[in-house]
Structure 1
Amino acid sequence: MGFIKNLLSLALLGALATALAPLDFPQEDIDSGKALQEIGRTAYDTAIARLEAHPTAKCTKDNVRVRKEWRRIPAAERIEYVKAVNCLMEKPNVYENVTGPRTMYDSFGVLHYKLTPYVHNSAYFLLFHRLYVWTFEDKLRTMCGYTGSFPYWEWGLDATTGVENSPVFDGSETSMGSNGEKVSGGGGGGNPMFPGGSGGGCVTKGPFVNYTVNFGPNTARDPLAYNPRCLKRDLNTQICAQWASLRNTTETITQSPDIALFQANLQGDFRWPDARKWGFAVHGGGHFAIAGDPGGDFYFSPLEPAFYLHHGQIDRMYFIWQNLDWEQRQTMAGTITMMDRPASRNGTLEDVLDIAPVGESYRFGQLLDTVGGSPFCFVYE
């Protein structure tokens, strides 16, 4: 019986891997998000079938966690998530010999700052951020008792109705706080390359209205020095619609036959001619749809609480892309420095990612699968 069950599971995996023809989706289904729902469901089914066929001591179908889009998480659970984030903002910083960081939440900002030159536009981008976000989730659970679903933000759902109206940013108690106060001339998150949004000043209501950003920005003489200030946001629907629409999200996945092009399309890496049409792409689009300070700061964006919902969506895209052709998509491409500057060797799955003192160290190869042979045990709804 067990042999037959394994055969059926393997057969299901093969069927799921070959059943999808993404380019056959009507454009209206791509633009509406229907296609994204379908490929997301296929990826979920593929991962669950693989888990059923090969459960581990740590991860089974019974205990696998399901990550959900913010608006699909019950209101009470969203409030508990915010409470857990606030709890991390009260736990002590784990870095020594720095004056700015005060909390465990801040420690994640230090880690991102230190590793940014190696984990963006490099071989390490996707797997670093997968471990980074998972470690944040793990701290919410182990240090602050959070038991609910980990959220992601599907930007495209707000590209037409307005980021300001999103359940993520509407300023209610079940949101991640509001837009910033309107500042004359907007500001594009402090970056003159971008059109100004609808805010720019301090968050005015809802969760995190009293949150203090303790250090940064990256342009400061000492970016890790104590520099307390309010959380600012400059929500920008124009950027969201241009770069992070449902269409862009879907086509980034379906038009990327290999890992090199997928991560280039995801980040708008102009070194790949095929990626240039995406502009700043969904990665930049999600970040600068939030913008502000520190959300618009490339190095310190994790000090913006919505960062983790944004990168949850990035990892969701990676999860979907991997599971549409699992056997061929357990790979890595690129060098180990940002934009290969300075020139560096290629990254390998045998390289070790050490995120101490915030988290632990793993081989990159251990981070490929969210449901087996890894520290993880999660899928995306």
Structure 2
Amino acid sequence: MGFLKKLLTFALAGASLRGLAVGVDFPQADIDSGKALKEISQTALNTALARLDGSSKCTKENVRRRKEWRTIPREERKAYVKAVECLMEQPNVYENVTGPKSMFDSFGVLHYRVTPYVHNSAYFLLFHRLYVWTFEEKLRTMCGYTGAFPYWEWGLDAGGVEKSPLFDGSETSLGSNGAKVNGSNTFFPGGSGGGCVTHGPFANYTVNFGPNTARNPLAYNPRCLKRDLNTQICAQWASLKNTTETILESPDIALFQANLQGDFRWPAARKWGFAVHGGGHFTIAGDPGGDFYFSPLEPAFYQHHGQIDRMYFIWQNLDWKNRQTMAGTITMMNMPASRNGTLDDILDINPVGGTYNYRQLLDTVGGSPFCFVYE
């Protein structure tokens, strides 16, 4: 951790590229406060909506608007929780595995199996876009959810994650922090929980399989949901400042992906440390939230990755014409060495979802298969 802090300090001493993406040089105060993020978010939204000219099935009338968790009405948040709980009661679709018991679990199996190919690779952003959208579709088609799909803007909680409307343990949250366990997190200092979620939604949820370190990760291994909420991680790696500067300092898709994930193969990305992707995950931490392979078994995974996709949506729509591209190889960190990914590659997520080529996943209002924007 000390090394990463020193690296961040060193990098920030260099010349700033902020505003590169949109040709605007925002005052640092506006970047730190989130004012700049609101501005570029609105610009991106307007750009996407302008493409809804009636030429596709996605229209201004039927486009879904994803919203930040705390902006969604209370009853709608409660309905979302009930839909997730419903998905935890629908049958698993994978055969010949003993651990997964539900459709919710099936998403965990899928993520476990594709992790070596969809992280720090050409496929990271578009795979997770389809993955989260497929989860939303199951909530709607299997469990009757009709509200907005929520994302979590981490930076709004950088002053105290335990107080977040997402984790405050109220009936309109996704449950509480884990019980305090002394020395619960030696790798990431600052966690305030570590034990089982104590109250609110998902306090009684059973994690059925994992962790990745188990001899058979897909075997049945029932246990409670643990969280170790970490404000220090959130403030350092997932602040409004980090989110905004990651978008503004990324002129191409290769660097955007690197900045988003803290990919040390790119010198310019090294200052981000865990970056917003790791920062959001480790802000939740715990078991399975801190497990690289099985983090989708944490219900808040989908709000975290909704924010990642929101960042991608904003970044794309700030220069739409030039940002329909892909970069990188098809294995994590190019290990083992592999070919470059292409937009014509096929993404098949059966039996959980469908089959598409990556080109179909570039446009959230392209109607194939998406029709959503971010507010």
Contact 1:92/1:102 (CA < 8 Å) preserved in 2? yes
Q: Say which of 223, 227, 232 aligns to 2:221.
A: 227
Contact 2:109/2:218 (CA < 8 Å) preserved in 1? yes
Q: Say which of 274, 285, 297 aligns to 1:280.
A: 274
Alignment partners' CA distance in 1, 2:23 and 2:35: 14
Structure whose residues are more often helix by fraction = 1
Aligned residue number for residue 71 of structure 1: 70
Aligned residue number for residue 176 of structure 1: 174
Aligned residue number for residue 354 of structure 2: 360
Aligned residue number for residue 7 of structure 1: none
* Cα displacement (A) at 1:21: 2.8
* Cα displacement (A) at 1:195: 1.3
Q: Secondary structure at the match of 2:142?
A: helix
Moved more, 267-276 or 177-186: 177-186
Q: What letter matches 2:88 in structure 1?
A: M
Q: Secondary structure at the match of 1:264?
A: helix
Aligned residue number for residue 336 of structure 2: 342
Q: What letter matches 2:37 in structure 1?
A: L
The TM-score, its normalising length taken from structure 2, stands at 0.94
The TM-score, its normalising length taken from structure 1, stands at 0.92
CA shift digits 1:270-289 (9 cap, x unpaired):
00000000001000000000
* Cα displacement (A) at 1:193: 3.2
* Cα displacement (A) at 1:246: 0.2
Aligned residue number for residue 133 of structure 2: 134
The reply to whether residue 33 of structure 1 matches residue 34 of structure 2 is yes
Alignment partners' CA distance in 2, 1:374 and 1:324: 21
Q: How does 1:204-283 map to 2 (within 5 A)?
A: 204-283=198-277
Q: How does 1:1-381 map to 2 (within 5 A)?
A: 20-22=22-24, 24-51=25-52, 53-56=53-56, 58-160=57-159, 162-187=160-185, 192-381=186-375
Q: Secondary structure at the match of 1:366?
A: helix
Q: What letter matches 2:116 in structure 1?
A: P
Query: Runs of 4 or more off by more than 3 Å in structure 1?
Result: none
Alignment partners' CA distance in 1, 2:188 and 2:171: 30
Aligned residue number for residue 5 of structure 2: none
* Cα displacement (A) at 1:186: 3.1
Contact 2:227/2:289 (CA < 8 Å) preserved in 1? yes
Unaligned runs of 5+ in 2: 1-19
In the alignment of these two chains, the number of paired residues is 356
Q: What letter matches 1:82 in structure 2?
A: V
Alignment partners' CA distance in 2, 1:262 and 1:323: 13
Q: Secondary structure at the match of 2:196?
A: strand
Alignment partners' CA distance in 2, 1:253 and 1:277: 14
* Cα displacement (A) at 1:185: 1.6
Aligned residue number for residue 14 of structure 1: none
Aligned residue number for residue 4 of structure 1: none
- What is the Cα-based RMSD across aligned positions, in Å? 1.1
Alignment partners' CA distance in 2, 1:55 and 1:317: 26
Q: What letter matches 2:114 in structure 1?
A: L
Q: What letter matches 1:368 in structure 2?
A: L
CA shift in 2, pair 1:19/1:338, >3 Å: closer
Contact 1:55/1:61 (CA < 8 Å) preserved in 2? no
* Cα displacement (A) at 1:89: 0.1
* Cα displacement (A) at 1:74: 0.2
Between the aligned residues of both structures, percent identity stands at: 83
Q: Secondary structure at the match of 2:51?
A: helix
Contact 2:295/2:301 (CA < 8 Å) preserved in 1? yes
Alignment partners' CA distance in 2, 1:239 and 1:374: 37
Alignment partners' CA distance in 1, 2:361 and 2:245: 25
